[in-house]
Structure formats: structure tokens, C-alpha cells
């Protein structure tokens, strides 16, 4: 095991460190301000309620939403489940068809499969080698009994940014609810739920320098009415949509993380810095190695993402060869299964290419020296592994 302190962290899609400003804001809500926001009869409760109200405003502001449209959950997995199962249960009488894509996170794909077992039909749209869903394919897939379309804003493996505003317009025009998993996009892509005609949007705090175990689901209010059946009952918190005592410190952390993300987006230079570092990483790897392929569109991609395949190299072996570099092969959320990435397979790549792919995720605390060290490790290890491959012939 490598010493974590000396390691280079380039796995920001898996999770991000909690920003020190977020930690500082959270601490008083673990110490003196420990009240329950549902306690209406004393100051402890009022203080907690005021903190939750502020955080709800901060999250809403990042989305261009109203605070009452934000429901706190335990993370994007729960938000995705609530969106899919909640709409399905409520609108079963209007239709039983759901559209999604083959490159969604398992937090969408698994609830969709569970609904299929309960009599719903699911269309999983394919993508091209660029990793992008074609909005016209959404239009063509819509049937009279379609109730929901769920397409992510940015993919967690290849970082491709989906044309969600276009998809949102089509769904609105055709009277289908539109859910968008924005866990990877928040703070990296400007989002306006109103402009993109998004009805439901999932968020996770730990992907944007907030704590783990807290997320939110944006649920549009107003006409045409959208109602969800809750997954968790008991107490009627969060307008009855998500019962359970609110984790105030987590919520405060998410609020501050959202407001920092909004500032970063507005200023722009931090995201430009990450993009420069990401482009430098790609350039120096491709200068140092042949037979390297970028997976997915470079044009419509999160500024902090790079996903590349190294011919004749097994990604797991490469990661073992450089334990000082924290990166991921496929998706950290599904790598336990050791299946080739469903995203890369959906993009039409071979099993070999998928098995030789590494995802680099940069972030707020990535430095120039992290990139230099990462390049040195990758460019040093790949040729050694290739020499072990019976199929590899070095370029003459
Ligand atoms: C796109 C996407 N959706 C959902 C999730 C699940 O988020 P959480 O860890 O908050 O449950 C992730 C996490 O990897 C993700 O990347």
C-alpha cells in the first residue's frame, strides 16, 4: 500500500476532498448548534431551521431554482431512485414507458431495471463513439405512454456533456417529464433548470467539495403539475417527500459547497486552470507514448476529465504498477464487479479498449506538480507493461 500522504489524487469523479471552508461552516452544527430543525418550540430548533433554510437557498441558487423546489436526500443515488420510482408510482395510470441512455450511472440504470420487473418498459438509448446522446433519438423514442426521460448532464466516466437543454425542450414539447442526473456537472457546467426545461435534477455534495451522505433532488413546482410518490415515509419531512430528521451539519456543508461552486463558475479562472492542467496531462502523455486513445468527445467534455486507453496495457495492472497515483479504471462505483465499463461498451469500443482505459479526474486542489508526477509515472510504467504483452510490437 502506498502512503496516502505522498499519493497524487486524480480521482475527483469518485469523490472530492471537503473544502476547508465547508468543514469550518459545518463544525458549529456538530457542536453547539445541534438542534433539530423540526423542533418548533425553542431556539435550538430555530437556529437549525435557519441554517437549513439558508442552505436550501444556496443550493437553489446554483440551479436557478426556488428554495422550495429543493428536497434534501442522502445523495445522488437516492435522488435518482426517488425521481424514477417516484414518477413511476405516481403516473403509472398515464403510462409505463421510460426512456434513459445506456451510459447512465447505475443509480439510474438499476432503478430503471427494477421498474421493468414491475411491468414498465424501458428504452435505453445508445450513444456513438463520442459518448453523446442524440436528442432526436429521444424524440423518436417517445411514445404516447412515455412518462419520463432520464438523461445525465455529464458522464462520470468519460465526462461527456449531454445536450440536456435540447432534450429538455423535446420532452417539454411532447409532455414527458425530464430527469437529469447532474452529480458530476454541478459547479463545472452552468446549469439553469428553467432554461433547460428540467423537471427533476439529482445532486450530490461530495462531488463538489462537500460532505458525503448528502444530496438533493430538484423537483419543479408549478404547472404542469409534477408529483412524486415518496420512497421513505415517516414524519413528513421535506414536504412529505423524504422523511427523516434532517442532518443539519451535512446540509450546511452542501449549501456552502454549492455557493463556492457558484462563485467558481462565475469567476471562471479555476475551471480554466483545471482545463489547462488536463490538456497538459493529455499532451505530455501522448508526447511520451504511442498507441494512446482518448475515449469520447474532447469538445463536449467536463474540463476536469480525461479518459484514455493505452493499447496492450491492462488498466488494473497499470494502476497496481503506480500505487502512488489515485486514478480509476472504468467507474469507481462499479469497479467492484470487474466488468468492462458499460459506458465504454455502449460507445462501441472493444472489451480490450475498455479494459485498458484509465479515468483521470482533476479538481480544485490539483497542482502543476501533481500533473508532472502523474505523467512521469504513466509514461514510465506503460512501456514496461507493454513489454510483457505478447502482442505488442514497438513502433519501428
Ligand atoms: C453521475 C452520478 N450519479 C450518481 C452518483 C451517485 O452519487 P452518490 O454517491 O451521491 O450517491 C454518482 C457517483 O459516482 C455519479 O457520478
> Could you tell me if 64 and 199 lie in one domain?
yes
Total domains in the chain come to 2
Cα(78) to centroid of ligand 1, in Å? 9
Q: Is 47 in the pocket of ligand 1 (CB under 6 A)?
A: no
Q: Is 83 in the pocket of ligand 1 (CB under 6 A)?
A: no
pLDDT of residue 333: 43
Q: How many CB atoms lie within 10 A of CB 22?
A: 23
Residue 337 pLDDT exceeds 90: no
Mean pLDDT computed over 233-250: 96
Mean pLDDT computed over 70-85: 98
> Could you tell me if 45 and 152 lie in one domain?
yes
pLDDT of residue 336: 57
Q: 265, 295, 310 — which closes off a domain?
A: 265
Instruction: Pick 395 or 99 by higher pLDDT.
Output: 99
Q: Is 330 in the pocket of ligand 1 (CB under 6 A)?
A: no
> Could you tell me if 259 and 273 lie in one domain?
no
pLDDT in tens, 33-60: 999 999 999 999 999 999 999 999 999 9
CA distances from 345 to 171, 173, 348 (A): 27, 32, 5
Predicted confidence band at 389 (pLDDT cuts at 50, 70, 90)?
confident
pLDDT in tens, 152-183: 999 999 999 999 999 999 999 999 999 999 99
> Could you tell me if 50 and 74 lie in one domain?
yes
Residue 393 pLDDT exceeds 80: no
In a domain, 396, yes or no: no
Q: Is 77 in the pocket of ligand 1 (CB under 6 A)?
A: yes
In a domain, 66, yes or no: yes
pLDDT in tens, 31-40: 999 999 999 9
Q: What is the mean pLDDT of the chain?
A: 95
Mean pLDDT computed over 108-118: 98
In a domain, 395, yes or no: no
Minimum-distance ligand 1 atom for the alpha carbon of 107: 4
In a domain, 102, yes or no: yes
Cα(387) to centroid of ligand 1, in Å? 37
Predicted confidence band at 3 (pLDDT cuts at 50, 70, 90)?
low
> Could you tell me if 123 and 248 lie in one domain?
yes
Mean pLDDT computed over 101-115: 98
Alpha-carbon Rg for the chain in angstroms: 22
Q: 213, 236, 265 — which closes off a domain?
A: 265
* Domain extent for 226: 21-265
pTM of structure: 0.96
List of residues 6+ apart from 251 with CB closer than 8 A = 51, 52, 55, 56, 72, 214
In a domain, 240, yes or no: yes
> Could you tell me if 228 and 275 lie in one domain?
no
In a domain, 201, yes or no: yes
Per-residue three-class SS string for 285-345:
HHHHCCCEEECCCCCCECCCEEEEEECCCCHHHHHHHCCCEECECCCCCCHHHCCCCHHHH
List of residues 6+ apart from 153 with CB closer than 8 A = 161, 162, 164, 180, 181, 182, 184, 185, 189, 191, 201
In what order do the strands lie in the sheet containing 305-310? 292-294, 305-310, 357-361
Distance CA 243, CA 237 (A): 4
> Could you tell me if 318 and 189 lie in one domain?
no
> Could you tell me if 223 and 345 lie in one domain?
no
> Could you tell me if 197 and 336 lie in one domain?
no
In a domain, 151, yes or no: yes
> Could you tell me if 178 and 259 lie in one domain?
yes
What CATH number should be reported for the domain holding residue 310? 3.90.1150.10
In a domain, 393, yes or no: no
Predicted confidence band at 331 (pLDDT cuts at 50, 70, 90)?
very low
pLDDT of residue 216: 98
Cis ω before 224 (30° cut-off from 0): yes
Amino acid at each position: 500500500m502506498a502512503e496516502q500522504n505522498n499519493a497524487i489524487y486524480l480521482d475527483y469523479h469518485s469523490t472530492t476532498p471537503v473544502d476547508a471552508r465547508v468543514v469550518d461552516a459545518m463544525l458549529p452544527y456538530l457542536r453547539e448548534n445541534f438542534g433539530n430543525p423540526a423542533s418548533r418550540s425553542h431556539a435550538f430548533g430555530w437556529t437549525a431551521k435557519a441554517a437549513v433554510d439558508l442552505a436550501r437557498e444556496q443550493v437553489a441558487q446554483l440551479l436557478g431554482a426556488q428554495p422550495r423546489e429543493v428536497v434534501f436526500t442522502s445523495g445522488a443515488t437516492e435522488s435518482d431512485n426517488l425521481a424514477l420510482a417516484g414518477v413511476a408510482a405516481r403516473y403509472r395510470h398515464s403510462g409505463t414507458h421510460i426512456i434513459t441512455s445506456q451510459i447512465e450511472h447505475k443509480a439510474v440504470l438499476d432503478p430503471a431495471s427494477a421498474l421493468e420487473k414491475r411491468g414498465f418498459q424501458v428504452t435505453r438509448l445508445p450513444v456513438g463513439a463520442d459518448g453523446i446522446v442524440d436528442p432526436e433519438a429521444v424524440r423518436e423514442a417517445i411514445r404516447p405512454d412515455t412518462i419520463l426521460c432520464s438523461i445525465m448532464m455529464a458522464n462520470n466516466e468519460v465526462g461527456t456533456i449531454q445536450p440536456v437543454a435540447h432534450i429538455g425542450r423535446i420532452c417539454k414539447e411532447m409532455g414527458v417529464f425530464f430527469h437529469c442526473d447532474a452529480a458530476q456537472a454541478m459547479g463545472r457546467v452552468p446549469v439553469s433548470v428553467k432554461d433547460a426545461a428540467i423537471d427533476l435534477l439529482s445532486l450530490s455534495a461530495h462531488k463538489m467539495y462537500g460532505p458525503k451522505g448528502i444530496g438533493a433532488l430538484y423537483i419543479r413546482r408549478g404547472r404542469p403539475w409534477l408529483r412524486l410518490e415518496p420512497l421513505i415515509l415517516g414524519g413528513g419531512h421535506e414536504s412529505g417527500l423524504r422523511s427523516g430528521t434532517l442532518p443539519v451539519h451535512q446540509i450546511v456543508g452542501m449549501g456552502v459547497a454549492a455557493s463556492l461552486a457558484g462563485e467558481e463558475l462565475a469567476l471562471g479562472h479555476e475551471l480554466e486552470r483545471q482545463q489547462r492542467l488536463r490538456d497538459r496531462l493529455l499532451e505530455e502523455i501522448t508526447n511520451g507514448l504511442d498507441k494512446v486513445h482518448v475515449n469520447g468527445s474532447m469538445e463536449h467534455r467536463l474540463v476536469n476529465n480525461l479518459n484514455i486507453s493505452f493499447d496492450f496495457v491492462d488498466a488494473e495492472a497499470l494502476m497496481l504498477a503506480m500505487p502512488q497515483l489515485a486514478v480509476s479504471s472504468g467507474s469507481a462505483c462499479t469497479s467492484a464487479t470487474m466488468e468492462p465499463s458499460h459506458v465504454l461498451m455502449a460507445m462501441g469500443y472493444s472489451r480490450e479498449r475498455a479494459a485498458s482505459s484509465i479515468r483521470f479526474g482533476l479538481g480544485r486542489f490539483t497542482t502543476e506538480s501533481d500533473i508532472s508526477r502523474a505523467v512521469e509515472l504513466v509514461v514510465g510504467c506503460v512501456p514496461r507493461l507493454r513489454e510483457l504483452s505478447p502482442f505488442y510490437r514497438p513502433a519501428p
